[in-house]
Amino acid sequence: MLLFSVDRSPMKRISILFVCMGNICRSPLAEGIFGHLVAEAGLTGGFMIDSAGTGGWHEGEPPDRRSIATAKSHSIDISGQRARRIRPRDFRDFDLILAMDRDNLAALEKSAPHGANIHLFGDAALGTGEDITDPYYGGPDGFELVYTRLLTGCCRLLETLGVERASCSGNTSSVR
């Protein structure tokens, strides 16, 4: 069952914004994973992918070193990303905004104009309704778990958007 819709006309780029609290752990990983999968599928020109945070504590900073290390261990480089806070124009500029957890979803819904296409990542990408837990206060295992859930969701999201990928099985070795 499709929980969201985006304009998939041939000439339209699909724009997706991944959102967590500070834009240094989960959403940069999601942006990196989805961008990697899109590039692997040869569809870079068909997508605009970005990430943001509901808070601005880390604006201008690179992702958390543990997110960078986790992505790097799967051959994805997110070190060039910089944290930013969600902007009012994001609600207009992005076809789909995916919040990593219910707290961020609620924060987005409070500031979004009517009709913004905002969903919980766990609903739209995973179909489970789960929150992607913030690994910030834990160790490397938490970041790897987040990576695995994001990979599974990003693969399913790409398939939902009409991209067939044989290597998108949720297996973490598929992007190493």
Distances (CA, A) of 16 to 19, 64, 65, 119, 139: 10, 21, 24, 11, 28
| Spatial contact of 103 and 21, defined as CB atoms under 8 Å apart | yes
Is 26 one of the annotated active-site residues of the chain?
yes
Reduced to 3 states (helix: H, G, I; strand: E, B; else coil), residue 82 is coil
Is 165 one of the annotated active-site residues of the chain?
no
Distances (CA, A) of 42 to 39, 46, 84: 5, 9, 27
Instruction: Indicate which residue of 134, 149, 155, 168 is catalytic.
Output: 134
Instruction: Indicate which residue of 25, 26, 64, 101 is catalytic.
Output: 26
Tokens 């938490």 -> residue: 142
Q: CB count, 10 Å around CB of 14?
A: 20
Q: Measured between alpha carbons, how far is 7 from 96 in angstroms, rounded to an integer?
A: 10
Is 101 one of the annotated active-site residues of the chain?
no
Q: Measured between alpha carbons, how far is 148 from 155 in angstroms, rounded to an integer?
A: 11
Q: Measured between alpha carbons, how far is 96 from 147 in angstroms, rounded to an integer?
A: 20
| Spatial contact of 47 and 38, defined as CB atoms under 8 Å apart | yes
Instruction: Indicate which residue of 20, 154, 155, 168 is catalytic.
Output: 20
Active site residues: 20, 26, 134
